[in-house]
Structure 1
């Protein structure tokens, strides 16, 4: 059975209020205060996940592992808009990210998608992130360290106008920049033949410009989509959709690199 380690990020779950407290044991020490009393954090190390933990007032919390989804949604320090899990899940499948891969991205933002890439490539893989704003890099790396993923990420503090250092080495490449159509040739040069490019595009006019740019390069298998998420109330007596829905966040564009001359068609 998995036990809590000193560097873990854990959840203390209040079953009465269906409330989660997320605590990173590597950066938080001493007593953790809840509205139902204090919990000695040092006492959590070595306990099996799923254990009951009591406050000094005798109230019960459950000790649970924090998932990457929960960390991104509730604990990630944000300096930028993030790529939400509903989009990230489709992105990593469409790009076919797997253990041992080299994934190249630009830019890092607050590190949400970087963390998803890093978790999937595993300890044998690597994520190379290009970012020109130092404050974003510092915050993103702090987030990655808090979830134990920073050692899988290499950051290059520069504009991709200069191109990517990788030459037909990337197993996947993702662009989250203002004018991605200006850098499609750089992305093409970095990707392995047959592998996938992904692009996040907030507005329709950005999609159109990127589609025009793809026509000038040997890319095929082009897709543009958006991901909508509809949640439902979990009360059996009144099961129905929730009143609010996370709908459009961005357009997602994907294309596959061909080896050769201009394709002339997408």
Structure 2
């Protein structure tokens, strides 16, 4: 059952989602006002109504919910790209991951939810305001014991951990981080670099080759939804298009 102080997802009649903290207060939307206190002690899936008689469903947040709904300052990596990284590197429970370029902490949270209970994510960020924001988001996601956010510049100061399974890079100058990642990775471990444009990818490939990485591959993940209606099913005219290029390689 839901407890006071935990975070939940409220799903409205239009399938819009709200990440809210359960407190004894009112929650206002364009569909009316909800009394959050009425949800405390109820089970996930409970249906509640606003003063305008509009229905909301209360759910426990998934890792995708946190990725989509956390507070953000820089642009965050989208679910399609985060899932692609996981699929190409095979991390899971017990994996040790280093995340370079924390930002709002979205990728660190997504990865942390996959490596628990015995794995860990060490996330590096050189801007203090983003470190504070990311730590707050990690706390909201309930992953403070799994995700550690460090205020440190990996380009100048390197990576503390050794023998890790995966190093992800989502920051400027990714080619400069490749040698640091090579030192941190175990043999057989993976590096995954997210680049918004193609020019850094070319520099990354040079760095990967000079540092002995193999199995290099770069992909772009595009998603097209299908609109399903009786007698009128067709691809959506909207495509979740280019967000960046994902380069993955392996230390041998």
Structure 1 length-normalised TM: 0.87
1:24 aligns with one of 21, 25, 34 = 21
RMSD: 1.8
- Is the strand fraction higher in 1 or 2? 2
Deviations 1:225-258 (A, max 9, x none): 1101111223334322222211111111111101
Larger Rg over CA atoms: 1
For residues 12 and 124 of structure 2, the distance between their equivalents in structure 1, rounded to whole angstroms, comes to 40
Matched residue SS, 2:175: helix
Matched, 1:127 2:121: yes
Q: Is the CA contact (8 Å cut-off) linking 1:96 and 1:172 kept in structure 2?
A: no
- 1:148-227 equivalences under 5 Å are 148-160=142-154, 161-167=156-162, 169-227=163-221
Deviations 1:145-170 (A, max 9, x none): 22212331112211112211113x21
Matched residue SS, 1:149: coil
Q: Structure 2 regions of 5+ residues with no counterpart?
A: none
2:79 aligns with one of 59, 80, 85 = 85
For residues 228 and 243 of structure 1, the distance between their equivalents in structure 2, rounded to whole angstroms, comes to 13
2:9 aligns with one of 11, 15, 18 = 11
Cross-structure match for 1:106: 100
Indicate how the Cα distance of structure 1 residues 170 and 70 shifts in structure 2: closer, same or farther if over 3 A, else same: same
Indicate how the Cα distance of structure 1 residues 210 and 18 shifts in structure 2: closer, same or farther if over 3 A, else same: closer
Using the TM superposition, give the Cα deviation of residue 36 of structure 1 relative to its aligned residue in structure 2, in angstroms.
4.3
Q: Structure 1 regions of 5+ residues with no counterpart?
A: 259-266
Structure 2 length-normalised TM: 0.92
Matched, 1:50 2:50: no
Paired residue total? 251
Which aligned runs of 4 or more in structure 1 are off by greater than 6 angstroms?
none
Q: Is the CA contact (8 Å cut-off) linking 1:8 and 1:147 kept in structure 2?
A: no
Stretch moving more, 188-197 or 38-47: 38-47
